[in-house]
Structure 1
Amino acid sequence: MATTRFESAAPDPLVYLDRLAASDLGRAYKGRMLAELGVRPGHTVLDLGCGPGADLGALAEAATVTGRVIGVDHDQAAVDAARERTAGRHTVTVRLGDIHELPLADGTAERARTDRVLQHAADPARVLREVRRVLRPGGRLVMGEPDWHTLTVDHPDGDLSLAYTGYVTDRVIRHARIGSGLPRLAVEAGFTVPVVIPVTPVLRDVRAADAILGLERTTRRAVADGCLTEEAAQRWLDHLADGPFLASVVFYIVVAEVPPQQGGE
């Protein structure tokens, strides 16, 4: 396949997470998640799958010096980066751990968040049961995940668009429909779900979209896996690079709460 003007080499995973957090899209949805989380001074807040710690500072500011923020990630490089980023924040702790089996006692926290983590988790239902365990009665979990089956990338050949989305959902993302499935999974784990917010960003700048979606990298994988021909892939990429561009995907922000069975917060 001929070289295009897209990013062809995958960025470092931690660089990618920081890039998304700094984008207009990232700032917008993360701000909405923080507002829904409703962190108060003195709260203990969990950031599960915290990555390089892009969100830990904002959580710490919301909890103030009387609160505590605990980040958990399974990747040592991410934990090291998050610890370095928060070195001056004495209320923040970052732990190496598996979110399927959290290294935390029952009823540890009032608030928890996951951000684009459950789509990659081996067992999202187990993760939610663990979060339910470590939250106190009346505690709140806010999750943000896309539903990749809603991914639309406009192209004159609609079949190519469908083929691309189908490849993403079938071969690239482990739990491609996790966004729309979160309310059900949360209820099954013992939460109530008072709020579901669908966010549908529309990307018109192909370079900004490529930085998030990895358009060429994903297309190359589809060719290698026999899901697109070389000719179809080049036709797809040529139009995306040169023609009017539009892409969108529905991102769900889901608020889940632990019933206050033993009293309120």
Structure 2
Amino acid sequence: MTAGTDQVKPADVWREADDAKKFLDQAAIELAAVKKELDALLQVEAGSHVLDVGCGTGADVRALAVRVGPGGRVVGLDSSEQLIGRGRPAGPGAAPVEFVHGQAGALPFPDAAFDVARAERVIEHVPDPQAAVAEMLRVVKPGGQVLVTDPDHGLWAPDLDDRRLTRTIMNWWSDHVPNPWVARQLRELFVRAGAQDVRVKLQPVVLTSLAAADALTWIGKAAAAAGAQGIADAEAARAWGEEILRRDAEGRFLMFGTFVVVTGTKK
């Protein structure tokens, strides 16, 4: 970290903590079941042209390239040049893949360039969620599908003894992402952008270790930051953080949450 604990904001922890690739890899492991559901909802077939917005190091890009086959095309876009620099081809029998540096709110592609566009755990971070959804609709063909999924950071629920303190810290800590409630706003964003046949699906996520919870929320860092910044009494916050560690060490840790998946089609 570049600042002392008393200066750290939740958003700083999210951006700077540990290595970005390690975070993405751990999150992917925890969300394996969610990804299976997303795959089932995605209207991708052999020969499809697919855009993955916020592709990271390209794991989903490569999986999609295998799914669409050599007659298809898969493009991954990310705002991090470091992450897309780690992208690599999908291998024999897969579609050619391309990695592009760019922003979700201003996609560098012509209208109607893709059959499907997807974004997973991305809209929660972008400066303008409405622009990002509108851009994804713009670049798909008429009848094409857009799929977006994000967690609702107001719904993370750890099992801890002090309910009042847990509510206080978790409500404050949800601001570690720019758009903590965007998941519950996605349907409205799709409708405003002109999407048709907008559908909403909820996917529960159950986390039974601190490592799993940190991969999605960095809750393990919340206690020290909350105490240092006066969000909670320093001693109470310390005890709260120790309870998390104790439950994890004893195999009793539990936190669950909800991912919201929204799909829509272009006129």
Tell me the TM-score normalized by structure 1.
Answer: 0.87
Deviation at 1:155, TM superposition (A): 1.3
Are the equivalent residues in 2 in contact too, given 1:193–1:254 (CA < 8 A)?
no
Distance change in 2, residues 1:173/1:45 (3 Å): same
1:212-232 deviations in Å (ceiling 9; x for gaps): 332222333323332123212
Deviation at 1:57, TM superposition (A): 1.3
Q: 1:185 and 2:189 equivalent?
A: yes
Distance 2:69 2:89 in 1: 17
Cross-structure match for 2:253: 245
Deviation at 1:10, TM superposition (A): 2.4
Q: 2:224 aligns with which of 220, 223, 242?
A: 220
Are the equivalent residues in 1 in contact too, given 2:71–2:95 (CA < 8 A)?
no
Q: Which runs of 5+ in 1 are unaligned?
A: 2-8, 260-265
Are the equivalent residues in 2 in contact too, given 1:10–1:217 (CA < 8 A)?
no
Tell me the TM-score normalized by structure 2.
Answer: 0.87
Q: 1:258 and 2:266 equivalent?
A: yes
Deviation at 1:138, TM superposition (A): 0.4
- The residue type paired with residue 253 of structure 1 is V
Deviation at 1:139, TM superposition (A): 0.4
Distance change in 2, residues 1:10/1:87 (3 Å): farther
Q: 2:116 aligns with which of 94, 111, 136?
A: 111
1:207-258 deviations in Å (ceiling 9; x for gaps): 4323433222233332333212321221111211223322111111111111
Two-structure CA RMSD over aligned residues (Å):
1.9
Deviation at 1:193, TM superposition (A): 4.0
Distance 2:207 2:22 in 1: 21
Deviation at 1:90, TM superposition (A): 5.8
Deviation at 1:34, TM superposition (A): 1.6
Q: Report how many residues are paired.
A: 248
> What pairs up with 1:45-194 in 2 under 5 angstroms?
45-82=50-87, 84=88, 86=90, 91-169=96-174, 171-194=175-198
Are the equivalent residues in 2 in contact too, given 1:53–1:85 (CA < 8 A)?
no
1:62-95 deviations in Å (ceiling 9; x for gaps): 111100001111111011012x364876610111
Q: 1:15 aligns with which of 18, 22, 46?
A: 22
1:139-174 deviations in Å (ceiling 9; x for gaps): 0011110111111112111011101221122x3121
> What pairs up with 1:226-237 in 2 under 5 angstroms?
226-237=230-241
User: What is the SS of the residue equivalent to 2:31?
Assistant: helix
Q: Which runs of 5+ in 2 are unaligned?
A: 6-15
- The residue type paired with residue 148 of structure 2 is M
Distance 1:209 1:122 in 2: 25
Distance change in 2, residues 1:249/1:107 (3 Å): same
**Which stretch shows the higher mean deviation, 102-111 or 243-252?**
243-252
Distance change in 2, residues 1:90/1:253 (3 Å): closer
